[in-house]
Amino acid sequence: MIEAWVIGTLARTLAYGTPLLLGTLGEIYSERSGVVNLGVEGMMIMGAISAFATAFTTGNPWLGILVAAIAGGLAALVHAFASITLRANQVVSGLALTMLGLGLSGLFGKGFEGKPLDSTISNVTVPLLKDIPYLGKILFIDQNPIVYISIVLTPILSYILFKTSIGITIRSVGENPAAADSAGINVWKVRYACVLLGGVLAGIAGGYLSIAYRPAWTQGMTGGMGWLVIALTIFASWKPGRGLVGAYIFGALIHLSYRLQPFVAPQLLKMMPYAFAILALVALAIGPGKQKSEEPNSLMEPYVRGEK
Amino acid sequence: MKRFIVFTLVLLVGLGFMFNVGLAADGDKLKAGFIYVGPVGDYGYSQGHDEGRKYAEEIFPWLETFYVENVFPPDVESTIDKFVRNKDADVVFTTSYGHMDPTIKAAKKYPDTVFFHCSGFKRAPNVGTYFSGLYQTYYLTGLMAGALTETDKLGYVGAFPTPEVKRHINAFAIGLKEANPDATLLVRWLNAWVDPSGAKEATEALIEEGVDGFAFTEDTPTVLQTAQENGAFSFSHYNPMYRFAEDAAVSGQISNWGVIYADILYKVYYGVYTSENLENVDYWWLMKEDSAVLGAKRDMMINPEYVDQLKSTTITDPLLGELSVYDLIMKRREQMKADRVTFDPFIGPMKDRQDIQRLKDGEWASHDELWTIQWAYENVKGPWPDEPTE
């Protein structure tokens, strides 16, 4: 009984945690290069509507995911242009991007409200692997391919960030852009690339929501997930592996908030994931200094050559 | 100067998007304005009202309508100002509970205009009220659920614990118990009207608990879709949602505001309703008036895939004797649609799950009792905010 309970919860955790994980991985890269992007919610929902619209009109859900990635990337470029090239305030630009995304997607999505989608990315069961005790039931029965993509992506992005010269380049741009610049690194290019990657992953996360997780378009359907991503990025200390852990903790809490309703008041449960986010951030802020030092030093600071 | 012109243009275009006002007025047509709380494409409440508006406009050549969507309570009065002053509206419909006080206020300002407010309780000489009740259809789908479940566990994903949602849950539970005394109804709350991700996880959580059939109150087809993915069945809610899950959708409720709008506008046009005699005009329309329709799509009361099972499941009713659940559903529907209604789900003796007597033997629940209902029926399980203890 308990066993089935835990397995069921963990399987749902993966399904709900996936868009959070994808968004967090992207935001980690963006922030590692020194650019905070508060537009995750906007990029995600742009991804969601473009994926749905594409899959609906072409009948090809994977093409939908591709278009979602492009849409997320284009939205991110708006932020990159404002915050890197024009050196605008990153917070303001990101917030504007979120509002823009929510508004535009609502407008474009009007014709797609209430339409069923026949071509979705449906869940799969992996033969052989499904027979692994416990793990098989959690991971390999009735899970979505995009869940696997996000899991595979995590160690790869972690490896690139910490074990390769590309990663060193990105991190040095985020830590000390002036030093990186004098070492011959093109700070703007690196930042553009990282912000772009963040947008692409957020777009895919949105696409997952509208054509895999729950195949339909509803205005505002990301429901604040983009904001959880911002909190998760800090919670993860800008490390992809910890991002995965954090995303799954959130996924579990959100699923549990319905599972535990017979025992705990629903209103309290609904607060749980957000209360956890606040507590986690407070703990990080007042805890040992180790985590704080992970924060990229020049986060939120536009780079101007020749100053400082 | 140039900047100013560009700014004004942008502002005008923006306002144009915000107020999707329809065509301009002409001739001596009756002009009716509709104010919606949500977008007309929400696939839920506001779309239901807008379909009602279109229906009325289609059948009456003398009627002209316009609407504004996404109007929250603070903007209701100014929207009414625009309707009355700029569009010469003769009738104004405000469709959300929160629109109540601004409507009453505006009605004082425009005593010659006819107002109708949906879902509220305040009236005035020029303000009538109306509402379409779905609980009878929920009862009928409850009967189906009782016959179709194999695990004897049904699930209800509810939006907010308001009297309206509780009335629907209880009606469903009453039907369920009548068809299957052993079955229980597990309730989960979303605390949101629109929350597709929450509805998905709530449905998955209930499936983990062994639930194999669903009813819900949430403005997207998520519960239905999730039921289909998991091989469970479900009833659609509010709008025809059959096409989202053609295997899982057994039946459902379709809210049909058109008949109410048509009736009101007809009576206004021919002078039955004026801006002086609406003090006691309150519509509470049910199945009898076709305001609530049974089905997951129009012209299909029950999904043919499920008809055989409903016909082969029999129960014994104290009055009707032994009959199939299918026949019982048809009989109840007939009774509730008859000129003189001979059945309602809420007839005593009825106890709530705290074993408190709610209706005496043979007593029919009054309009007020149903309007303010807070208790939970015997077979309902799960959290129940504001449950009365006496």
Average pLDDT, chain A: 93
Q: Is the pLDDT reported for residue A3 higher than 90?
A: no
Q: Is the pLDDT assigned to residue A289 strictly greater than 70?
A: no
With beta carbons under 8 A apart, name residues in chain A contacting B383.
261-262, 265-266
B94-138 pLDDT, tens digit per residue, is 999 899 999 999 999 999 999 999 988 899 999 999 999 999 999
The answer to whether the CB atoms of B243 and A116 lie below 8 A apart is: yes
B16 touches chain A (CB under 8 A): no
Note the CATH architecture for domain B28-133+257-285: 3-Layer(aba) Sandwich (3.40)
CA-based nearest residue to B123, from B133, B138, B136, B108: B108
What SS3 state is found at B31? strand
Please say if the pLDDT value at position B16 is more than 70: no
Best probe of the A interface among B13, B197, B241, by most A CBs < 10 A, is: B197
- Banded model confidence at residue B153, pLDDT cuts 50, 70, 90: very high
Partners of residue B197 in chain A, C-beta under 8 Å: 16, 209, 213-214, 221, 223, 225, 254
* pLDDT (mean) for B320-338: 96
Closest CA to A10 of A138, A129, A107, A125: A138
Question: Cα separations (Å) of A109 from A14, A106, B41?
Answer: 28, 5, 9
360-379 in B: which are within 8 Å (CB) of A?
none
Bridge partners for B251 per DSSP: B235
- Whole-angstrom Cα distance, residue B29 to residue A98? 44
Tell me, yes or no, if B355 comes closer than 8 A to chain A by beta carbon: no
Q: How many other C-beta atoms can be found within 10 angstroms of the C-beta atom of residue B117? A: 29
Please determine, for residue B17, whether its predicted confidence score (pLDDT) is greater than 70: no
Predicted confidence (pLDDT) at residue B41 exceeds the cutoff of 90? no
Q: What is the mean pLDDT of residues B153-164?
A: 94
* A107 Rama class: left (phi>0) / alpha (psi -120 to 50) / beta: alpha
Residue A208 at interface with chain B, using a CB cutoff of 8 Å:
no
Contacts of residue B94, Cβ cutoff 8 Å, sequence gap at least 6: B35, B76, B80, B100, B102, B103, B115, B116, B117, B118
Place of tokens 């709610």: B358
For A66, B341, B343, B349, B358, the CA distances from B362, given in Å and listed in that order, are 63, 15, 11, 6, 12
Q: What pLDDT score was predicted for residue B194?
A: 84
Among the partner-chain residues B47, B205, B220, the one whose CB lies closest to the CB of A259 is: B205
Q: Do A219 and B39 touch (CB under 8 A)?
A: yes
Report the residue of chain B nearest A255, measured CA to CA.
B201
pLDDT at B12: 47
Helix axes A240-259, B196-208, angle to 10 degrees: 70
Closest-CA residue of A relative to B204 is A12
Alpha-carbon Rg for chain A in angstroms: 19
CB B171 within 8 A of CB B133: no
Q: How many angstroms separate the CA atoms of B244 and B242, rounded? A: 5
The least confident of A131-145, A150-164, A277-291, B137-151 is A277-291
* Residue from the list B194, B201, B382 with its beta carbon closest to the beta carbon of A218: B194
Average pLDDT over residues B157-167: 94
Predicted ipTM of the assembly: 0.88
Option in A111, A254, A267 nearest B201 (CB): A254
Percent of chain A exceeding pLDDT 90 equals: 76
pLDDT tens per residue across span A65-118: 999 999 999 999 999 999 999 999 999 999 999 999 999 999 999 889 888 898
Write down the pLDDT at residue B390: 82
Per-residue pLDDT tens digits for B188-209: 999 988 889 999 999 999 999 9
Q: How does pLDDT run across A264-287, given as a tens digit for each residue?
A: 888 888 888 888 888 888 887 787
Q: Using an 8 Å CB-CB cutoff, list chain B residues near A114.
A: 41, 43, 47, 239
Question: For A258, which of B188, B220, B244 is closest by C-beta distance?
Answer: B188
Whether residue A123 and residue B202 make contact (CB cut-off 8 A), yes or no, is: no
At A28-69, the pLDDT tens digits run 999 999 999 999 999 999 999 999 999 999 999 999 999 999
User: Which one, of B302, B335, B341, lies nearest residue B320 by Cα?
Assistant: B335
pLDDT at B26: 47
Shortest Cα distance, chain A CAs vs residue B283, angstroms: 29
* Separation of alpha carbons A233 and A153, rounded Å: 16
Q: List C-alpha distances in Å: B45 to A231, B50, B228, B297.
A: 34, 9, 23, 16
Helical (H) or strand (E) element with A268: helix A266-286
- Return the structure tokens found at B300: 């299909």
Judge if the upstream peptide bond of residue B349 is cis by omega within 30 degrees of 0.
yes
Please name which of B380, B309, B348, B384 lies closest in space to residue B154, comparing C-alpha atoms.
Answer: B380
CA distance B384 to chain A (A): 9
Distance CA A65, CA A68 (A): 5
Cβ separation of B221 and A116 shorter than 8 Å?
A: yes
Q: Is A52 on the interface with B (CB under 8 A)?
A: no
Q: Does B196 touch chain A (CB under 8 A)?
A: yes
Residue listed under structure tokens 């200094």: A289
Q: What's the CA gap between A173 and B30, in Å, rounded?
A: 67
3-state secondary structure A54-122: HHHHHCCHHHHHHHHHHHHHHHHHHHHHHHHHCCCCHHHHHHHHHHHHHHHHHHHHHHHCCCCCCCCCC
What DSSP letter does each residue of A38-57 carry, written as one string? TTHHHHHHHHHHHHHHHHHH
B14, pLDDT greater than 60: no
pLDDT at B19 over 70: no
Q: Which residue of B has its CA nearest to A107?
A: B17
Classify the C-alpha dihedral B156-B377-B298-B261 as positive or negative: negative
What is the rounded CA–CA span in Å between residue B320 and residue A36? 70
Contacts of B89 (CB under 8 A, 6+ apart): B31, B32, B33, B66, B83, B113
- B124: helix, strand or coil: strand
Q: Tell me the nearest-neighbour CA distance from B191 into chain A, angstroms.
A: 7
Residues of chain A found within 8 Å of residue B198, distances taken between Cβ atoms: 223, 254, 258
Q: Where are the beta strands (DSSP E) in chain A?
A: none
Question: Given CB atoms, is B202 within the 8 Å cutoff of chain A?
Answer: yes
Ramachandran area for residue A183 (φ above 0: left; ψ -120 to 50: alpha; else beta): alpha
Q: Which domains does chain A have, with CATH numbers?
A: 2-294 (1.10.3470)
Point out the residue among B195, B225, B229 whose CB comes nearest to the CB of A216. B225
Query: In the prediction, which pLDDT does A114 show?
Result: 80
> What is the DSSP-derived secondary structure letter of residue B292?
E
| B152 interface with A at CB cutoff 8 Å | no
| Partner-chain contact A223 B196, CB within 8 Å | yes
* B180, two tokens: 């299957």
Question: Which residue from A minimizes the CA distance to B240?
Answer: A114
Q: Please, is B182 exposed, middle or buried when counting C-beta atoms within 10 Å of its C-beta (0-12, 13-18, 19+)?
A: exposed
Give residue for tokens 């009335």.
B167
CB-based contact B244 A266, cutoff 8 Å: no
CB pairs under 8 A between A and B: 97
Measured distance CA(B102)–CA(B76) in Å, rounded: 6
Tokens of A284: 């990080």
Asked if B42 lies within 8 A of A113 by C-beta distance, the reply is yes
- Residues sharing a CB contact under 8 Å with residue B6, sequence separation 6 or more, in sequence order: none
What integer pLDDT is reported at residue A291 of this predicted model?
Answer: 55
Distances from the Cα of A294 to the Cα of A114, A290, A299, B376, angstroms: 45, 7, 11, 53
- Which CATH code for domain B135-237+313-381? 3.40.50.2300
Mean pLDDT of chain B: 91
A223 near B CB under 8 A: yes
The distance of A1 to chain B (nearest Cα, Å) reads: 10
| DSSP state, residue A10 | H
Nearest to B76 by CA among B112, B102, B108, B100: B102
From chain A, pick out residues whose CB is under 8 angstroms from the CB of B239.
114
**Which residue, among B20, B160, B200, B218, would best test binding to A if mutated, counting the most A CBs under 10 Å from its CB?**
B200
Asked if the Cβ–Cβ distance from B239 to A114 is below 8 Å, we say yes
Name the percent of chain B lying above pLDDT 90.
82
Looking at residue B25, what is its pLDDT? 41
Rounded CA-CA distance A194/A200 in Å is: 10
Domain B28-133+257-285 and domain B135-237+313-381 have a common topology: yes
